[in-house]
Amino acid sequence: MFKITTTLTLLLATTLGGHAQGAVIADPTLASGPNAIDPAGAETLDQTPATTSDGLAVTAATEASLEARNDFRVVQNFTGFGNTTNTIHFTDPTLPDIRFTREQVSATPNDFGEATSSDGFNTSAGAAIRLRNNSGGNKTTRVRFDFGSYDAGSDTWDGSVNAISAASINLINLSPGMVSAAASFYAEDGTLISQQTLTAGTDADTPGSGATDGLFALEVDGSTPLISYFDVRIVYPGGIKTVGLDDLGFTAIPEPASLALIGIGGLLMIRRGRDARTAPAAFLSH
């Protein structure tokens, strides 16, 4: 099953990879439940991001709270990702499609976003996403994970729909000498919901020397806008520096409250109708 899925994924990535929109990865295998995030434990997510003190009320979510949700899924393998735009497309209509884009904030275009199978940047089996400053001086790169809808027929992306209630990504090997990384979570109207930061070289196991691994994560409740997209912004020093992103977590698309109520009402009506039909039969059988 795994081989079939991988083959299909590679086939699609190969077929569509040359298109201007980049690679399209169809129905990647999803993990859920305990250890869906960082199942290997090889790169311990030992630093909790600081939430910035700019008045944003929503704080980082924990790995345990996300894994406890029955609507939470994780992509662990990014095989097929190329170095520009990548789209994950699900045939399951309850799941948002996901588009990954990379923006070179500083001048020189020598960062990457493609898949890497290096153990040093993975928190799970299968490839992670590699981001690298390949040479030269300080650089900043921003990558975006947008939850939306992809239409395969017209090859078009709509990022203004399918916002969700929780999302996460692992950041791996923010090595000493690197500067920092921040994640910003946004609503569909562009409102900033939460901003979280990790600082390089502050590993909890080996302070001052170890590379930082951390989890950027957010859960919103009914009083907060849903998550439409989030950005990860990384500041690199000069020289060759690489970080990994792995285990992209997200929830199913929440059902609108009105539809949920109609659904409950409909079930009650069906049940009532069935009870009305079966009650006489049950009575007669006695």
For Ca ion, the binding residues (CB under 5 A) are 76, 122, 124, 126, 128, 146-148, 159, 228-229, 246
Query: In the complex, what is the shortest distance from the CB of residue 248 to Ca ion, in angstroms, rounded to a whole number?
Result: 9
Query: In the complex, what is the shortest distance from the CB of residue 183 to Ca ion, in angstroms, rounded to a whole number?
Result: 15
Task: Name the residue nearer to Ca ion (CB basis): 105 or 161.
Answer: 161
Residue type at 58? Answer: V
Query: In the complex, what is the shortest distance from the CB of residue 192 to Ca ion, in angstroms, rounded to a whole number?
Result: 14
Task: Name the residue nearer to Ca ion (CB basis): 36 or 235.
Answer: 36
Task: Name the residue nearer to Ca ion (CB basis): 40 or 56.
Answer: 40
Largest separation between any pair of C-alpha atoms in the chain: 87
Task: Name the residue nearer to Ca ion (CB basis): 85 or 202.
Answer: 85
Residue type at 269? Answer: M
Query: In the complex, what is the shortest distance from the CB of residue 50 to Ca ion, in angstroms, rounded to a whole number?
Result: 25
**CA pair distance 125, 70, nearest whole angstrom:** 22
Q: Are 76 and 25 in contact (CB under 8 A)?
A: no
Task: Name the residue nearer to Ca ion (CB basis): 114 or 202.
Answer: 114
Query: In the complex, what is the shortest distance from the CB of residue 47 to Ca ion, in angstroms, rounded to a whole number?
Result: 19
Query: In the complex, what is the shortest distance from the CB of residue 124 to Ca ion, in angstroms, rounded to a whole number?
Result: 4
Structure tokens at 231: 């950005």
Task: Name the residue nearer to Ca ion (CB basis): 147 or 202.
Answer: 147
Task: Name the residue nearer to Ca ion (CB basis): 97 or 203.
Answer: 97
- Per-residue HEC secondary structure of the chain comes to CHHHHHHHHHHHHHHHCCCCCCEEEECCCEECCCCCCCCCCCCCCCECCEECCCCCCCCECCHHHHHCCCCEEEECCCCCCCCCCEEEECCCCCCCEEEEEEEECCCCCCCCCCEECCHHHCCCCCCEEEEEECCCCCEEEEEEEEEEEEECCCCEEECCCCCECEEEEEEEEECECECEEEEEEECCCCCEEEEEEEECCCCCCCCCCCCEEEEEEEECCCCCCCECEEEEEEEECCCCEEEEEEEEEEECCCCCHHHHHHHHHHHHHHHHHHHHHHHHHHHHHC
Q: Are 108 and 44 in contact (CB under 8 A)?
A: no
Q: Which residue is nearest to Ca ion (CB)?
A: 228
Task: Name the residue nearer to Ca ion (CB basis): 42 or 264.
Answer: 42
Query: In the complex, what is the shortest distance from the CB of residue 239 to Ca ion, in angstroms, rounded to a whole number?
Result: 25
Query: In the complex, what is the shortest distance from the CB of residue 41 to Ca ion, in angstroms, rounded to a whole number?
Result: 13
